[in-house]
Amino acid sequence: MDTRVQFSVFLANKPGVLPQVCRELGKAKINIIALTMMDAVEHGVFRMIAKDPDKVREVLKKLNVPMTETEVMVITMANRPGALADVCEKLSSAHVAISYMYCTTGAAGGKTLGVFKVANIKKAAKIIENHKSTARDTKAKLRRGQTNPTPRRRAAARR
């Protein structure tokens, strides 16, 4: 789990506007980690997280496009069905509201990155870190044989 600066860039719904922004980001050699684009009636919202937020800020100021910056959580998740549900359920059970989220299609080691805009980032970070610690502890205990076997394992052991 990490926190990052997300840029929300408000672009006119006209041909050529998005390519211009992307071209300038490319010229500045900005590596985008995650992005999403959605439309509204009069404009599109291009949200992105990059490795170097200072460079992004500089490019967007030169382009004179309206934008905002927001702190978001970036969570590395297993790239498997249900991984997103697990994170959402953990946050929901602790009464942390998710304003919006989006995912990358892949990250190092076959993982995926989930970007979460939440109401209380400190509380959410604590919940996610506690969940990861508990999962690591349980896996370590299973490897050492220190947890009670599941009922299925007990039945198999009796046979």
36-81, pLDDT tens digit by residue? 999 877 899 999 999 999 999 999 999 999 999 999 999 999 888 9
In terms of Cα–Cα distance, which of 68, 62, 50 is closest to 21?
62
Per DSSP bridges, beta strands 2-12 and 67-78 are antiparallel
Tokens encoding 13: 């719904």
Rounded to 10 deg, the angle between the 17-27 and 53-63 helix axes is 130
CA dihedral 105→126→73→134, nearest 10 degrees, is -10
State the pTM of this model. Answer: 0.76
Greatest C-alpha distance within the chain: 72
Give, rounded to a whole angstrom, the gap between the first and last alpha carbons of the chain: 43
The structural architecture, per CATH, of the domain 2-121 is: 2-Layer Sandwich (3.30)
pLDDT at 2 over 80: yes
